[in-house]
Amino acid sequence: MTADRMNVQETLATLLAGNERFVAGAPVHPNQDAARRAEIAPAQTPFAVLFGCADSRLAAEIIFDRGLGDLFVVRTAGHVVGTEVLGSIEYGVSVLGCPLVVVLGHDACGAVAATRAAVEEGATAGGFVRDVIERVTPSVLAARAAGYSEDGDFIAEHIRHTVDLLLDRSRLLAERVETGEVAVVGLSYRLADGTAQLITARGLEAPAGAAG
């Protein structure tokens, strides 16, 4: 499926269906053969932008059972947002025509854990790791202010914060969400069982049971 044949609801449903196959141990590995490689060589037409944590256990095409040319993937430690990230996501939406932007976080996130340690214990980090921690700090502070203590709550808060930050900083994204052309959702991935849970959705109605 290409972006012009899918609306935002269909796109999210396609991703979640792929995750269900992955969890069940029954992936179909679509678009991973020589024919697909030849088909997309002239140009790419991904159907979703996937902005995820750079953790090595979080390979988007595997956990959503997709293949070559399906996802436009942007990854940083702790899915922290900088101008390069914003430009890449806007490219996926405005140039490639992706109707869906997914922020993908996960449990046992090292960036969130390091930030909690910095905030709660004064632990320090050197080099540019400190910059990552500084960018995650607002999420950790918001989670603490809300009275959270569990890892999952901190992860969810950071995912929500990232979704909000993308829309606050990118006028292009905000306008297209407002017109219904694009949706931005946040998913949280569980490393042990492989499931991706919907945490927040902007630009489409979140299904019953979403975490908020």
Q: What is the pLDDT of residues 53-98, one digit of tens each?
A: 999 999 999 999 999 999 999 999 999 999 999 999 999 999 999 9
pLDDT of residue 7: 86
| Interval 20-41: pLDDT, tens | 999 999 999 999 999 999 999 9
| Interval 93-130: pLDDT, tens | 999 999 999 999 999 999 999 999 999 999 888 999 99
Residues 55 and 109: beta-carbon distance below 8 Å: yes
Tokens standing for 11? 């796109």
CA proximity to 50, closest of 103, 106, 11: 103
Phi-psi region of 168 (alpha: psi -120 to 50; beta: other; left: phi over 0): alpha
DSSP-based three-state secondary structure for 73: strand
Name the amino acid, one letter, at 104: L
Q: pLDDT band for position 212 (50/70/90)?
A: very low
CA distance 108 to 155: 8
CA distance 36 to 143: 44
55 contacts: CB under 8 Å, gap ≥ 6: 77, 106, 109, 110
pLDDT of residue 6: 63
| Interval 128-178: pLDDT, tens | 999 999 999 999 999 999 999 999 999 999 999 999 999 999 999 999 999
Q: pLDDT band for position 182 (50/70/90)?
A: very high
